[in-house]
Amino acid sequence: MEALSILAQQAEEGLTAADQKSIAAAANAGFAYGLAAIGPAIGIGYLVGKSVEAMARQPEAAGMVRTTMFLGIAFTEALALIGFVVFILLKFA
Amino acid sequence: MFFALEFPPINALLRWPDIFPTFNKIGLIAVLSALIVIIFYSMANRQSAALAPTGVRNLAETSVEFIEEGIVMQTMGKAGLNWTPLLLSLFLFIFLCNIPGVIPVFQMPATARIAIPLALSLLVWVVYIGTGLKHQGVGYFTHLLWPPGVPTALKPLVGLIEFVSTILVTPFSLTVRLFANLLAGHVLLVTFGLLTEALLFARTSQVFLVPMSVLPFIMLVLMTAFEVLVAVLQAYIFTILAAVYINNSMAAHDEH
């Protein structure tokens, strides 16, 4: 443990400002994508679950339900994808 | 001890050297996609329409039927059948730009650079605003800004939201959806490829690490299969959303 903390201290001292910035950017990018994925995950789960329920109740309407489901997924998923773009921007830009 | 995984800078994954000036692999894929579609349908067109379709024409007719049954009839109804050519070309072009992401030699979806998705969604944007203007005249914009059937107190707010979402957010979200999906897939495949390589050639004293490289490799194979699914699904979703937007501007406020 002691050796590790000394190692960490030494590592911290050797960091330049640019290194620290990129570390912060990487950590924040991870958080940004993680947070952005929560909402759409719940949304898509709920949406697909309900669609399966509808298809099981009325198999003859399955085609229409499937189309609408894909539409809903596309709109919900956009939020997660914007989160991913933010991740790329934070990490690499 | 730890060994660090060297992840290449993002430009190494996405920026390709020019084959000749102003023309790189992305351009090559886009041109090839367009050429494949044109050649395929002219070959199909050469067969007689009176006979039972065989070979190329069979596939071509199936694709047209898929667009008509799966996209046009589901979203626009019979009135939208005229839009089949546009939607079919959108679907095939996007699909053929997506699928090189999993084809060896190419290994890069052309839609993972923002240029092609942006151009396509601007095309759709022009088409659906043009359709709105053609069907409703200038009333298209006034309907957007002053939506009928909404309480007057809320009209400015709803109108503003409607206007911004139709004019600005829609093309943006069309672009980002296609672009980010394919970019994410590309980066994912690169990540698992790199993991496999790093474990296979790791200079480490712990020999048991090396056979572990089979785990990211299995993941890589599964992800490749998933990327095929994504390529089809994103082309389908882009086309179906284009159909929905065009349909909205065709008949949105006829009932009032």
A71: chain B residues, CB-CB within 8 Å:
237, 240-241, 244
Domain assignment of residue A57, yes or no = yes
Tell me the residue range of the domain where A88 lies.
Answer: 37-93
Among A19-23, A61-65, B228-232, B246-250, the range of highest mean pLDDT: B228-232
SS3 B20: strand
Q: In terms of Cα–Cα distance, which of B85, B115, B127 is closest to B178?
A: B115
Domain assignment of residue A78, yes or no = yes
How far does the CA of residue B29 sit from the closest CA of chain A (Å)?
A: 23
Domain assignment of residue A64, yes or no = yes
Domain assignment of residue A13, yes or no = no
CATH value at residue A51: 1.20.20.10
Using the beta-carbon criterion (under 8 Å), do A84 and B10 form an inter-chain contact?
no
> Higher pLDDT residue, A76 or B203?
A76
Q: Please report which helix (H) or strand (E) contains residue B146, including its range.
A: none
pLDDT of residue B1: 37
Residue B134: what residue type?
Answer: K
Q: Are B99 and B93 in contact (CB under 8 A)?
A: no
Compute the distance between CA of residue B86 and CA of residue B105 in angstroms, rounded to an integer: 30
Q: Are B197 and B162 in contact (CB under 8 A)?
A: no
Torsion, Cα of B149, B154, B160, B164 (10° steps): -70
A67: chain B residues, CB-CB within 8 Å:
70, 74-75, 240
Using the beta-carbon criterion (under 8 Å), do A92 and B240 form an inter-chain contact?
no
Compute the distance between CA of residue B61 and CA of residue B43 in angstroms, rounded to an integer: 12
Over 50: is that where the pLDDT of A35 sits?
yes
Torsion, Cα of B179, B161, B91, A46 (10° steps): 80
pLDDT of residue B95: 96
For residue B9, give both structure tokens: 């800078």
Cα nearest neighbour of B180 on chain A: A81
Q: Please report which helix (H) or strand (E) contains residue B249, including its range.
A: helix B214-251
Selected residues 61-80 of chain B with any CB under 8 Å from a CB in chain A: 70, 74-75
User: CB-based contact (8 Å) between B180 and chain A?
Assistant: yes
User: CB-based contact (8 Å) between A85 and chain B?
Assistant: yes
Q: Please, how many CA atoms are within 13 Å of residue A60, restricted to the half-sphere of its CB?
A: 0
Helices assigned H by DSSP within chain A:
2-13, 17-57, 62-92
Phi/psi for B40 (5° steps) reads: -60, -45
Residue B29: what residue type?
Answer: I
Compute the distance between CA of residue A84 and CA of residue A82 in angstroms, rounded to an integer: 5
Over 50: is that where the pLDDT of B94 sits?
yes
> Higher pLDDT residue, B35 or A93?
B35
B184: chain A residues, CB-CB within 8 Å:
81, 84
Domain assignment of residue A5, yes or no = no
Provide the number of structural domains found in chain A.
Answer: 1
Compute the distance between CA of residue B239 and CA of residue B72 in angstroms, rounded to an integer: 10
Over 70: is that where the pLDDT of B252 sits?
no
Domain assignment of residue A67, yes or no = yes
Domain assignment of residue A79, yes or no = yes
Exposed/middle/buried for residue B125 (C-beta within 10 Å: 0-12, 13-18, 19+): buried
pLDDT digits (tens, 9 = 90+) for B179-224: 999 999 998 899 899 889 888 887 777 778 888 889 999 999 999 9
